[in-house]
Amino acid sequence: MCRCLILIILLFPALAHGQNLAFVEENISMEISDGFFYVSGQYKLQGDGENFKTLFYPLPVNPLYGDADSVLIYNLSTGNKITPLRISKDAVIFQFGFNDLNEVIIQISYCQQILANQIEYIVNTTKAWKKPLRRADFQLMVPDNLEITQFEYKPDDSLKIGNKLIYYWTIYDFMPAKNMMFQFKPAE
């Protein structure tokens, strides 16, 4: 099980079919630390005037890492915690409501145990929305004794703070073809 660290969403519209719902932006913080991968994301969605929506949020499944754990979901627009309708090995299903502006920011957090030298964050489900994200921001923090040997998407920049290295990406009109995969090894 993951230690007490809250993390949070990448959205998949499988259950939103027939609903006029748009996934427009995401801001994702990721960290590799002490054998775990922590993810906390904020996702901006726009609605159609109907208050409640149901979404399917995919979770990475691979023998190279453990099952997602410690899933937490919040509606940051209302300040309310969201209790999932269902959590399985590969997905979380939940409902949320909109504010008066028909816009919502949902935060989803989870962690996974790292069992090998690779970890993944799902982004390729964006294509199921049939529209690119206006903006996607990503940050990956790793200890300086770990070297990232392969990025699926080359970072825009990096910054060293103390014993941590932080990689940054800002992507406009983002329609990813692949997930964000990170391969790593102990630094030499």
What pLDDT, on a 0 to 100 scale, did the predictor assign at position 13?
A: 41
% the chain with pLDDT above 70: 89
- Sequence-ordered list of residues with C-beta below 8 angstroms from that of 100, at least 6 positions apart, any chain: none
Spatial distance between the Cα atoms of 120 and 62, rounded to a whole number of angstroms: 9
Which range, of 12-21, 133-142, 173-182, averages the lowest pLDDT? Answer: 12-21
What pLDDT, on a 0 to 100 scale, did the predictor assign at position 32?
A: 97
Rounded mean pLDDT, 74-95: 94
pLDDT above 90: residue 145: yes
Question: For 13-186, CATH number?
Answer: 2.60.40.3680
**Chain centroid, CA 126 distance in Å:** 11
Rounded mean pLDDT, 4-11: 30
What pLDDT, on a 0 to 100 scale, did the predictor assign at position 126?
A: 87
Which range, of 70-74, 104-108, 144-148, 184-188, averages the lowest pLDDT? Answer: 184-188
Alpha-carbon separation of residue 69 from 13, 72, 134, 150 (angstroms): 22, 9, 29, 25
What pLDDT, on a 0 to 100 scale, did the predictor assign at position 169?
A: 98
Rounded mean pLDDT, 95-119: 91
CA dihedral 39, 45, 49, 53 (to 10 degrees): -30
Per-residue pLDDT band at 44 (split at 50, 70, 90): very high
Spatial distance between the Cα atoms of 183 and 29, rounded to a whole number of angstroms: 17
Domain residue ranges in the chain: 13-186
Higher-pLDDT residue of 151, 130: 151
Among 39, 29, 28, smallest CA distance to 2 is for 39
What pLDDT, on a 0 to 100 scale, did the predictor assign at position 4?
A: 28
Q: What is the model's pTM?
A: 0.87
Q: Note the pLDDT tens digit of each residue in 49-69.
A: 667 889 999 999 999 999 999
pLDDT above 60: residue 175: yes
